Amino acid sequence: MEDEPLAWEAAAIVDQLIADKVPPVSAVDPETAQTLNAQAEAAVAAMWRPDIEDLPVQTTEVVRDGVGTVRVHTPTQDVLGTLLWVHGGGWMLGDAVGADPIARTLADLMQCQVIAVDHRQAPQHPFPEGLEDVEAALNSLLVDESVDKPLLIGGDSSGANLAAAAISQSENADRLAGQILIYPAVDPTSSLPSVDIVVGGPMISKPDMEYFIRYYAQPEQLIDPRIALLGAVDAIARVPALVLTVGHDPLRDEGLQLAQALADAGDVVNVIHAPELFHGSLTSAGVMSPAMARLRQVAAEAVRLFLQEPI
């Protein structure tokens, strides 16, 4: 697959990270990676436009039985439903607070309540602990009559992996209106061609994915269909899927492969491919207009899932 050059704003961000000598995540220890990521998320939140505090969305922290603390983003207007959002970060980085910009923006664009789950992370909490948190949150929301329905689940990168894996494990997943998988992590063996298109520098690369996987799971666990999602396609395909892939991304091919496998299994699948963006772009959408345009496109298609319109 031939992809376009990076959009100029995306290219400028990459150039700036190179100039600032930001190390690849695989070059530092996990604690340092977590600290640097928290600093980066705070910087993005401060630059996000429109300012997330100006969005017509109220944010609260809520403790849910059996789930723990979640962040709930509720638009001030009537809501169409609820989105359970699972943040990415290689099963290691980020938290629900760091996901505020994209979660609040989605709440505004989709006119829905967004519930961001703060799942446990590696290396302190390896597989399957974080997944168990997402499963608990999903199953709780599916049966909670007080939660605005219909219900979607979504996430980015490793968060998309956890979201789809939680679907595969849920007895009630067919009650979901849809799933939103943003550049999903699918193949823990990193064996598809696109893993070699980003060979180094500040953006995610094959060594980074190998680093994340090493801390997330034991080698013998990598064939588990809760990680290697192609082994759970039939269970995941019970839920209509919206999949976004990006061009400058070692995970590009595995996201496209998952989308095709879901379609082959009879699922309703809508694929958006953004050749002009890099992995992680949507969590910087507030500082990069091409990414915001794609986030708006995702939101518009997700609304159709809420409304149960054909996709």
Q: Which of 157, 168, 194, 205 is catalytic?
A: 157
Cα–Cα distance measured from residue 256 to residue 76, given in angstroms and rounded to the nearest whole number: 36
Asked whether 121 and 89 are in contact (CB, 8 A), the reply is yes
Q: CA 280 to CA 204: how far, in whole Å?
A: 8
* Residue 146, φ and ψ in degrees, nearest 5: -80, -10
Which residue, 3, 8, 10, is CA-closest to 279? 10
In whole angstroms, what is the distance from residue 282 CA to residue 183 CA? 10
In terms of phi and psi (left: phi > 0; alpha: psi -120 to 50; beta: otherwise), the region of 94 is: left
| Maximum distance among all Cα pairs of the chain, rounded to whole angstroms | 51
CA distance 217 to 189: 12
Residue 272, strand partner residues: 244
Q: Is 273 a catalytic residue?
A: no
SS3 245: strand
Examine the residue annotation and report whether 157 is marked as an active-site residue of this protein: yes
248 catalytic, yes or no?
Answer: no
Question: Annotated catalytic residue: which of 118, 249, 253, 267?
Answer: 249
CA distances from 218 to 94, 227, 299 (A): 22, 11, 36
Mind telling me the catalytic residues? Answer: 157, 249, 279
